[in-house]
Amino acid sequence: MIDIVSKELVASPVQAIPSRVKGIRMQLGLSRKKFEQATGISSNTLQAWELGKNHLTEKAASKLCLALEKIGVNCTVDWLLHGNGIPPRAFQTSEQSFDEDVRILKEVAFFEANNPSSIVIIVMDDAMMPFYKIGDYVAGCQKSSEYTDLLVGTNCIVTLYSGKMLLRHLSKDVHGCYNLYSLNPDTQVENACVLDCKIQRIAQVVWHRTNELILK
């Protein structure tokens, strides 16, 4: 169902495959060894994927998805490789999934209809945990960089001049430079912190929706 509005939902382009793989394991609360015992994927192989030492091919992604099915987790190859579609979720009936997706789409549509220059994204990494978890939806109203000072000290969806889009906490140092910070000290996601960043567009997070069916 999410594909209906996929053009409206922007997945962070900086979300790396290793972070998505690690994110699944973290959400399950499993060590690499326990993940191996549960799925049959060796801890060494998993570590290599999580650290980006071995490239996760389409064949390997399919293998990982099948392994996750063994422990009741639905995950797609497209999400693992590209961050597209619904993040991993525990198996639910099709009726439950349909109902939850419809509720989310209605909320997204309502927000967009009532907020000019709206942007809605799906949280794709653990950088802002515990406040924003993988699979959550966040939204705001995009402003040009001249509004940045007004949003210092808040959590924002930031588009840099490089084209990267990040969900981060915005700060400003004594030198007048804007810095973006992760709220999760344990994250290993790319660009967890960006110092002296050049901001093109910015939106304070004013709407947050947890997807109840996403793996927690």
Domain harbouring 167, CATH code: 2.10.109.10
| pLDDT top residue among 214 and 17 | 17
Both 24 and 66 in a single domain?
Answer: yes
Is the distance from CB of 125 to CB of 19 less than 8 angstroms?
Answer: yes
Both 41 and 81 in a single domain?
Answer: yes
Give the list of residues 6+ apart from residue 39 with CB closer than 8 angstroms, or none: 67, 68, 70, 71
Both 190 and 107 in a single domain?
Answer: yes
- SS3 at position 50: helix
The DSSP output letter for 194 is B
Of the candidate ranges 7-21, 95-109, 143-157, 186-200, the one whose mean pLDDT is the lowest: 7-21
| pLDDT top residue among 117 and 213 | 117
What tokens appear for 45 in the block? Answer: 């192989």
- Asked if residue 128 belongs to a domain, the reply is yes
* pTM, 2 dp: 0.60
Both 49 and 126 in a single domain?
Answer: no
Give the list of residues 6+ apart from residue 106 with CB closer than 8 angstroms, or none: none
Query: How far is it, in rounded angstroms, from Cα 156 to Cα 45?
Result: 35
- Asked if residue 162 belongs to a domain, the reply is yes
Amino acid occupying residue 8: E
What pLDDT does residue 215 have? 54
Whether the pLDDT of residue 6 is over 50: the answer is no
Phi, psi of 129 (to 5 degrees): -70, 150
Whether the pLDDT of residue 41 is over 50: the answer is yes
What pLDDT does residue 188 have? 80
Both 99 and 201 in a single domain?
Answer: yes
Whether the pLDDT of residue 15 is over 70: the answer is no
Of the candidate ranges 18-27, 105-114, 198-207, the one whose mean pLDDT is the lowest: 18-27
Phi, psi of 96 (to 5 degrees): -65, -45
What pLDDT does residue 103 have? 83
Whether the pLDDT of residue 93 is over 60: the answer is no
Across 197-212, b (16+ Cβ under 10 Å) vs e yields bebbbbbbbebebebe
Query: How far is it, in rounded angstroms, from Cα 57 to Cα 16?
Result: 13
Number of domains in the chain: 2
Last residue of a domain, one of 39, 54, 86: 86
Both 114 and 194 in a single domain?
Answer: yes
What pLDDT does residue 181 have? 97
What range defines the domain where residue 99 resides?
A: 94-209
Last residue of a domain, one of 86, 120, 138: 86
- Asked if residue 63 belongs to a domain, the reply is yes
